[in-house]
Amino acid sequence: MKIREQALQQLKDFSENFLSNYARDRNFDFGPDKRTNTSCLSKYITHRIIDEEEVLKSANSKYPYIKIEKFIQEVFWRTYWKGWLELKPKVFQSYKSDLLKLNEQIQSKPYQDAISGKTEIECFNDWVNELKNTGYLHNHTRMWFASIWIFTLKLPWQLGADFFLKHLLDGDVASNTLSWRWVAGLHTKGKHYVAASWNINKFSKKKYDHLKLNESATALFESENFSSTPIHFDKLNNENSLFLAHNLDSNFLLKTKDKFNHYALFDFNSVLEKENYSKKVLDFKAHINAEIADHLKSNFNSTTILRNKEELLKIVSEKNIKNIAMPYLTCGYENDFISKIKNEIKITYLARDYDQYCFQFSNKGFFAFKEQIPKILSVIFKN
């Protein structure tokens, strides 16, 4: 089955059979073999194999808003994080800079024990192994994991966020970076999340008893204040144009009515290999790339796959390309790579109407964003 077909079937099954109990059951981690209390759609949404609008419309078609409000909010958390980081991109650049400074600590025994699942905390070790083996962790568990990493194991949050990003199939720079900052008490200054033994025991169905955790930790502090910068959305000029598909917005061509002269796939895996992404994540992205390539061949008679700046410059010269367009890249290693090329070639980022409309509400906390959800939904469901 094609990966989009898999995603649509997963969405259908969840919406019809499990969505109604989501609010009641979502916080329980029953283990990797029992995930029906969550949608398990995140790896598809991250790569927009299916997109947020499709998920929201599917949920809305089954139940009234009041019944599924919690699920709707969880979908919008991802949108909020993306918009917030687009408004404050220096947060990601600061995080990357911190990682370079922390490079020597990667060789330390506490860090190596943590990422090898060899700590004295049983649940944490289990989660490390689950993450490596499956490329997934339950959302509640991600909060527990981050809290233990920061406050009990006393490891830098940046290294934990990096570990997650490189191993999660649904790894999203905005959601991941800002969620770790939130747990640490940096996103909402002074408001941190401390994992409690009773909470882990309850929501893992009493699997872990007598955990010894630091439950009196104080929030981390940083002196830097990050100011917002307006988001610029490009306008399309498709005269003698090249469209570059990529796997962070896999179904873009299914949604757009714009036409282009030439089509190609940009494969970012070589970029992510240099950042030490796990083989499991790279293989998943390669699978998506293969299906995008099949789509380009079948629908646009293109077999062009680009992997670096030199290959892009070559096709621009050979085809006398005047305009390059690609689905909007939010903050991340892929965007950093393309941004450098933008200094030499004009590349237009094509933003979806959904993102352009939603990102404007991401300039404060999520609760301010949440107040706008009914308005956003009215716009989505009108289309």
3-state secondary structure the chain: CCHHHHHHHHHHHHHHHCHHHHHHHCCCCCCCCCCCCCCCCHHHHHCCCCCHHHHHHHHHHHCCHHHHHHHHHHHHHHHHHHHHHHHCCHHHHHHHHHHHHCHHHHHCHHHHHHHCCCCCCHHHHHHHHHHHHHCCCCHHHHHHHHHHHHHHCCCCHHHHHHHHHHHCCCCCHHHHHHHHHHHHCCCCCCCCCCCCHHHHHHHCCCCCCCCCCCCCCCCCCCCCCCCCCCCCCCCCCCCCEEEEECCCCCCHHHHCCCCCCEEEEECCHHHHHHCCCCHHHHHHHHHHHHHHHHHHHHHHCCCCEECCHHHHHHHHHHCCCCEEEEECCCCCHHHHHHHHHCCCCCEEEECCHHHHHHHCCCCCCHHHHHCCHHHHHHHHHHC
CB-based contact 363:42 (threshold 8 Å): no
Average pLDDT, the chain: 96
More confident residue, 383 or 252: 252
Q: Residue 328 has which token pair?
A: 């909007």
Q: Give me the mean pLDDT over the 306-313 stretch.
A: 96
Sign of CA dihedral 370, 371, 372, 374: positive
Q: Give me the mean pLDDT over the 60-65 stretch.
A: 94
Residue 383 has pLDDT above 80, yes or no: no
pLDDT in tens, 140-189: 999 999 999 999 999 999 999 999 999 999 999 999 999 999 999 999 98
Residue 98 has pLDDT above 80, yes or no: yes
pLDDT of residue 382: 83
pLDDT in tens, 258-277: 999 999 999 999 999 999 99
Q: What's the rounded Cα separation, in Å, for the pair 378 and 383?
A: 9
Distances in Å between the alpha carbon of 210 and those of 126, 146, 206, 254, 378? 16, 19, 10, 51, 48
Residue 320 has pLDDT above 90, yes or no: yes
pLDDT in tens, 229-252: 999 999 999 999 999 999 999 999
**What percent of the chain lies above the pLDDT cut of 70?**
100
Phi, psi of 169 (to 5 degrees): -65, -25
pLDDT of residue 207: 80
| Residue where the block lists tokens 């089509």 | 263
Q: What's the rounded Cα separation, in Å, for the pair 243 and 155?
A: 43
For the purposes of burial, counting CB atoms within 10 Å of the CB of 154, is it exposed (0-12), middle (13-18) or buried (19 or more)? Answer: exposed
Q: Residue 127 has which token pair?
A: 């989660």
Q: Give me the mean pLDDT over the 15-38 stretch.
A: 95
pLDDT of residue 1: 59
**What percent of the chain lies above the pLDDT cut of 90?**
95
Residue 206 has pLDDT above 80, yes or no: no
pLDDT of residue 107: 93
Count of beta carbons in the 10 Å neighbourhood of residue 320? 8
pLDDT in tens, 274-300: 999 999 999 999 999 999 999 999 999
**Strand partners of residue 244:** 264
Q: With bands split at pLDDT 50, 70 and 90, how would you rate the model's confidence at 254?
A: very high
CB-based contact 73:370 (threshold 8 Å): yes
